[in-house]
Amino acid sequence: MNQDLFGHAPLAETERLGDGAVLLRGWALREREALLSALDEVIRAAPLRHMVTSRGFRMSVGMTNCGDLGWVSDRRGYRYTAIDPLSDKPWPGLPPVFHALAGAAAVAAGFEDFVPDACLVNRYAPGSRLSLHQDRNERDFAQPIVSVSLGLPAVFLFGGLQRSDPASRVLLSHGDVVVWGGPARLRYHGVAALAEGVHDALGGYRINLTLRRAG
Ligand code: MD6
Ligand code: FE
């Protein structure tokens, strides 16, 4: 059988979440050791921090980045930067395992030639949440986003193209990968407040990686 470089059968265990959105359950588990150790290194080089929104609210999610570009928010608004404002140095490089996983997941979901240049790392503690938003700071909306969930499970809120559209609730667990693009690319989405829990690999946290082509 045809297999990708992680030994998965392509299109196995896929769940459609709507046009252009695919959930690959457990897709990242095979590479979990390499993924978690690369993640440790990224966080050591560019520590998680709580950014503020343009209105001055401290975000409950801890964030950092790796790759050529990183997503930042401060009183001036949201944008991508090549420099980590905390260290005044470039963000840590995108680990090869992130790059390979994202490319393979995109192909499995039907998006060829996805080459990410940015990875936003979000860390949720119990009670942390992410309110409904669209991802629209990237240059090319034809490129999908690959999202990797690690640690405690979370309820992902998957809305429509209008903020007021009803949102479905999708449980995302350790190793789940969501790929969305095309007609789903600008759907509103968020994460419900994380429930208390303890995860074998990540303790009392959920970590989400979103890999994008930002520039
Ligand atoms: C999260 N994810 O799952 C937050 N955005 O923690 C996102 O905001 C997101 O998962 C765009 C595409 C996929 C995502
Ligand atoms: Fe998002």
Q: Can you give the pLDDT at residue 11?
A: 46
**Complete DSSP assignment for 92-107:** PPPPHHHHHHHHHHHH
The whole-number pLDDT of residue 83 equals 98
Rounded to whole angstroms, the Cα distance separating 208 from 71 reads 14
Give me the amino acid identity at 102: A
Ligand 2 center to residue 186 CA distance, Å? Answer: 9
147 CA to centre of own chain: 4
Share of the chain above pLDDT 90, in %: 93
Quick check: 209 and 98 in contact, CB under 8 A? yes
User: Quick one: pLDDT at residue 8?
Assistant: 52
Q: Which pLDDT band holds residue 6 (cuts at 50, 70, 90)?
A: low
Pocket test for ligand 1, best of 51, 210, 211, 212 (most atoms within 8 A of CB): 210
Supply the pLDDT for residue 88. 98
Q: Is 115 helix (H, G, I), strand (E, B) or coil?
A: coil
The string of pLDDT tens digits covering residues 110-160 is: 999 999 999 999 999 999 999 999 999 999 999 999 999 999 999 999 999
Percent of the chain with pLDDT over 70: 94
Q: What is the mean pLDDT of the chain?
A: 94
Q: Whose CA is nearest to atom 5 of ligand 1?
A: 135
Contacts of 21 (CB under 8 A, 6+ apart): 158, 178, 179, 180, 184, 187
The CA distances from residue 136 to 132, 141, 150, 173, in Å, are 13, 8, 24, 25
Which protein residue has the closest C-alpha to ligand 1 atom 13? 147
Q: Give the pLDDT band (50/70/90) at residue 38.
A: very high
pLDDT tens per residue, range 180-193: 999 999 999 999 99
